[in-house]
Structure 1
Amino acid sequence: MRLIQGKRACMMAICTASALFPYASATAQASPVVTIESGTLQGVADDGVLAFKGIPYAAPPVGQLRWQAPQPAPAWKGVRQADQYGHDCMQEPFPSDAAPLGTQPAEDCLVLNVWKPAHNVSGKLPVMVWIYGGGFVNGGSSPSVYDGSQFARQDVILVSFNYRVGRFGFFAHPALTKENPDGVLGNYGFMDQIAALQWVQRNIGAFGGDAENVTLFGESAGGFSVHTMLTSPLAKGLFHKAIIQSGGGRTSIGGGRYLQSPSASGLPSAEDVGLAFAAKNQISGTDEKALAALRALPAETVTDGLNMMTMNDPTYSGPFLDGKLVTAEPQDIYRAGEGMSVPLLVGATDMDIGFPPQVKNMQEALAPLGKPQYQQAVQAYNPDGKYSAQEVAQMLASDQMMVEPARFAARMATAQGQPVYAYRFAYVADSMKSEWQGAQHATEIPYVFNTVQARYADALTESDKAMSAQVQQYWVNFAKTGNPNAAGLPNWPVYDAKSDQILLFSANGAPQTAAVTDPWQTRLDLIENLFK
């Protein structure tokens, strides 16, 4: 996601420490200062919030560290200035991104940011850790809509971080397997996420945070990542509650690709995809020489125009089943009664993302549901006949990719004895009501962060502000206690599969949000039958 032309990262061999790390002397302004395992940080105070940005949580993944698991961040002497975002990870942004990057993408990008309240607080503060979306090919922690200040003002510590995307984050090749035959391979972006969570466990206490009360949350690819963290044996115990926003819940974005063998559906292995990328760059062989040539490729060549608009490139694998970090698809782990070990808040938008084929008529639009269900499907998706065939196809694709899988995740967590709160976000900003028939994918994010001013600027209305305050309050309450409810908010009941009640963030705005039996119950039942 993000349109800033990527430039080649500064090569480790020719960059000085002072170029990579801006430092101040130990005699610089004394406050706000925090000392962590790597050294001392000088943050910035602004309107009741202390922010520390661009903190390295791992070594720069450049040179010989390209396509390796994240290594420990180097220590520094003196006081490091933490007043600016570090580089977002190397990528090719695209023009229509609603959360444009605020930095120049680069390969040296494994940094995180922390926001905390400036006032003294008794006791340790709850922590929320954000994972951005972007299809695993775009995204970063610098967009203004991801600013954590409003969470800090409600006595929550907000942590955001960068993880490698595209071919830097998800890449396999036989030479890499030979180099590290017993290690975790390929899904470097997920390894970065685990490393960031481990950093939080070791260091968040220095900021006043409670390492035993960490809520992991993410949207789109970030939501899919939360599912990965819930189901990976390598992430166990690193967080204590989870929020999944439009993150599926059944299958991964990678579609069940394997490290070394083709999938049952015919997907080539991740290693074969890596070989295809190498061949495109006139690199042959599977030995150390081939690997050295791959690591010597300029960052722009590795990116090769890959972004959300071009991510189906046959020389890019995306996330895959590596056997150690990613061991199975989420739905298979959940059906086995595993994975859902924490309280969960989960949902999607009412016009979420999906990728339908082009259709000519309603029969084609509803064909995936089967002929015997056709009349029932028409009643579920288009009872008044007001939608075109293509619009219905889009609704069905959205339900398959995001809406029904969110319900599935809620049911699986409930079955494992976890408290679950399910929602659907239907609110549309007043300035967009003439353009959108419902809430588009990712449009809930500025409401969750209460950064609607950054998103809508002068077009922001009082209704937009009220909805934003209400949404964030639910998220904050859940992070603090595992229950989103509090006095003054419409009641959000614990999810139960029989009653199928969700909290509907109403298109009419706050405070009319209310718990209802899911009005899409019938159409989601039809989708559920497909997965069965």
Structure 2
Amino acid sequence: MRRSLPRLFGRALLGLGLGAALLAAGGPASAGADDDGGAEPPLVVHTEDGAVRGTMEEGHRLFQGIPFAAPPVGNLRFRPPAPVEPWEGVRDATELGSPCPQPQPPDFATVPWVDEDCLSLNVTTPAGLDGRRGDVPVMVWIHGGFFLVGTGSQYDARKLAVDGDVVVVTINYRLGPLGFLAQRDLSAQNGDVASVCAQLASPTARGLFDRAIAMSFSCTQRYDDLPTAEARGDQVAAAVGCAAGTDVAACLRQAGVEELVRAWLGALSLGGAFVVGGSALPVQPADAIAAGERARVPVMHGNNRDENTYFTPTETLVSTGAPPSPTLTAEEYAAELTARYGDRAEEVLARYPADAYPSPLRALAAVFSDAGPPAMVSTCAHVDAYEALSAPRRARVYAYQFRDRTAFPLADFPFPGYPEGAQHGSVLPYLFELGAPLTPEQQELSATMVRYWTAFAATGRPNLHDAPAWHRYRDDEDVQGLDVEGSGGVGAVDVPAESHCDFWASLAQP
């Protein structure tokens, strides 16, 4: 017999904010015998499109660079993915596929990756998968990166696969203008694009996944409507010489990759990748969720305690029109609050006094982490999402907040008095082999989190018999805090009270 890896591989979808998500998609992978047989796990497995050969190391198997769609080049640029051409013989799956075209962080001054033949995925399995009876959960990771940068291969999934006993699929997807450009001529030809909160709301995604984990990107975030996105598309088209009155779609398909990426950078607003309009995403996900018109699957949703320490140093201040200085003074901090909140600034200052933090800049980051900007990763925006997702009768939602302020930072700002804490992205090394090695205390937290995440993928519930109970979200205290022992540990926290969410909601009232 031979075991076939399903085309969509899966059971759970996972994703991290400003672009990433984890879904349990389609059906589970089933265990069984392979052609190679024997005591050692086989390195050749059979997919619907052909056989692939991977590698075996440290208790897991890895298959890399497997194409899941035809190369989106030439006339297929901007079009929905076409089926991959099946192959004869055994395809080598020991090397990574090409990254999708993208600029180089952090300054985006260069565009080193321009290969559009990039639609590939990587599969990590426990070594003992074959010969086992029954189904194995499959988790699909949609990487983050503002829908502009990143690859699936950045995320070494052996921790999830081996310790959680699941199959993990990491994917590349078209980024920037090649994946998210909306322009009137293209829209007329191509239809839609979309990621986890959007998938929950998308009618065309129903039945493709069984659970959803949305990380650090609130499902109440509002996306651009089609006219707004198409106006940005016209700006991109003009920047690459595809002016109105020509065959704009054909011209855009012939434009240079680097030109397109640079034009997209000039037109892009943060979070402005997804578009509401068309059959894939006909309404705002927030509106669909509020109306109970979303996929009826269990959802895990959460953020990090100090999300916006990552974004605050580069945020444009209302009071000055420039990013905050590392030596922001208490007076400048107060002036910024006044510029943002007017006659209610004193109320904000009373809740976030500068002298309660290591520096005024860190106080400003606390304000932004609770309320934004950017709002889509803020704590209170996530609380809004928990309420909306759990409102329909019997909807099962599990909320969390990652709170380890000793975590390795995704971005390290050398500012005095600016501890970055549990900033955006700092949760990733607790699920993937990524970044600096974890301390023993962090390893213990990581082990618990991996088991929570993979139990959710398997059953739709994250609860474990030998870990703190995680209650489904019904009220404010049902957010599971995830911290190292000695700093709060693992257990329920009242996140809305801690982040003054009722107060921030009152400021938003007309």
Find 1:361's aligned residue among 326, 333, 342. Answer: 333
Q: How does 1:316-465 map to 2 (within 5 A)?
A: 318-339=273-294, 341-353=296-308, 356-358=315-317, 359=319, 360-362=332-334, 364-365=336-337, 368=340, 371-372=343-344, 374=345, 376-382=347-353, 385-386=356-357, 388-400=359-371, 401=375, 402=377, 403-416=379-392, 417-429=394-406, 436-449=419-432, 451=433, 454-457=434-437, 460-465=438-443
Partner of 1:151: 160
Corresponding position: 1:134 with 2:89 = no
1:60 aligns with 2:67: no
Query: Cα–Cα, structure 1 residues 518 and 251, in superposed 2: closer, same or farther, change >3 Å?
Result: closer
The amino acid that maps onto 1:408 is D
Deviations 1:114-158 (A, max 9, x none): 111221322010111111111111111011xx1121222132111
Matched, 1:258 2:221: no
What is the identity, as a one-letter code, of the residue corresponding to 2:219?
G
> Which residue matches 2:28?
none
Residue-by-residue CA offset, 1:266-309 (whole Å, 9 max, x unaligned): xxx32222222222222223443x33222112212211286xxx
Q: Does the aligned pair in 2 maintain the 1:92–1:305 contact within 8 Å?
A: no
* Equivalent position SS for 2:61: strand
Shift of 1:500: 2.6
Q: d(CA) in 1 for partners of 2:179 and 2:89?
A: 32
Sort the Cα spacing of 1:31 and 1:324 in 2 relative to 1 into closer, same or farther, 3 A: same
SS in 2 for 1:142: helix
1:503 is matched with 480
> TM-score, structure 2 length as denominator?
0.77
CA distance in 2, matches of 1:369, 1:277: 34
Return the offset for 1:485. Answer: 1.7
Cα 1:366–1:398 shift into 2, 3 Å: farther
Partner of 2:184: 174
Q: Any conservation in 2 of the 1:243–1:344 contact (CA below 8 Å)?
A: yes
Deviation for aligned residue 1:70: 0.6
Offset of 1:357 from its aligned partner? 4.2
In 2: Cα distance, 1:504 partner to 1:314 partner: 32
1:315–1:176 CA distance, 2 compared to 1 (3 A)? farther
Tell me the amino acid that sits aligned with residue 149 of structure 1. R
1-structure distance, mates of 2:302, 2:43: 37
Deviations 1:441-468 (CA, angstroms, capped at 9, x unpaired): 011011022x2xx4104xx422222222
Change in CA separation of 1:318 and 1:430 when aligned onto 2, cut-off 3 Å: closer
Alignment pair present for 1:303 and 2:261: yes
* Separation in 2, partners of 1:344, 1:50: 29
What whole-Å deviation, never above 9, does each CA across 1:351-376 have from its counterpart, x for those lacking one? Answer: 1035654252326326655635x554
Q: Distance in 1 between matches of 2:418 and 2:225?
A: 41
Secondary structure in 1 matching 2:431:
helix
Indicate the SS of the match to 2:209. coil
**Compared CA separation, residues 510 and 36, structure 1 to 2 (3 A):** farther
SS in 1 for 2:140: strand
Structure 1 gap segments, 5+ residues each? 1-25, 191-224, 262-268
Distance 2:90 2:201 in 1: 38
Q: Provide the rounded CA distance (Å) in 2 between the counterparts of 1:369 and 1:343.
A: 37
Distance 1:344 1:524, change over 3 A: same
Residues 406 and 421 of structure 2 are in contact (CA less than 8 Å); yes or no, is this contact kept in structure 1? no
Alignment CA distance shift 1:431-1:52 (3 Å): closer
1:163 counterpart = 2:138: no
Alignment of 1:102-113 (within 5 A): 106-113=115-122
8 Å CA contact retained: 1:490, 1:511? no
Aligned pair count reads: 437
The residue number in structure 1 matching 2:97 is 86
**Letter of the 1:139 counterpart:** G
Deviation at 1:431, TM superposition (A): 6.6
Does 1:232 find its partner at 2:239?
A: no
Give 1:118's aligned residue: 127
Counterparts of 2:177 and 2:271, CA distance in 1: 6
The correspondence for 2:60, drawn from 29, 46, 49, is 49
- Distance change (3 Å), C-alpha of 1:430 and 1:440: closer
Contact persistence 1:495–1:502 (CA under 8 A)? yes
Alignment correspondent of 2:8: none
CA shift in 2, pair 1:316/1:285, >3 Å: farther
Please tell me whether the aligned partners of residues 249 and 330 of structure 1 are also in contact (alpha carbons under 8 angstroms): yes
Give me the whole-angstrom Cα distance separating, in 2, the residues matched to 1:447 and 1:438. Answer: 15
Q: How does 1:31-50 map to 2 (within 5 A)?
A: 31-50=42-61
Cα distance change of structure 1 residues 466 and 366 upon mapping to structure 2, 3 Å threshold: farther
Amino acid in structure 2 at the alignment position of 1:257: D
Q: Please, which of 260, 267, 274 is the counterpart of residue 233 of structure 2? A: 274
Task: Output aligned runs, 1:236-247, within 5 Å.
Answer: 236-247=206-217
CA 1:382–1:419 in 2, change beyond 3 Å: closer, same or farther? Answer: farther
Q: Structure 1 residues 51, 361: CA separation in 2 closer, same or farther (over 3 Å shift)?
A: closer
Tell me the secondary structure at the aligned position of residue 54 of structure 1: strand
User: Partners in 2 of 1:270 and 1:148 — Cα distance?
Assistant: 34
- The amino acid across from 1:411 in the alignment is E
Deviation at 1:391, TM superposition (A): 3.4
> Is residue 470 from structure 1 mapped to residue 448 from structure 2 by the alignment?
yes
Query: How big is the shift at 1:227?
Result: 0.4
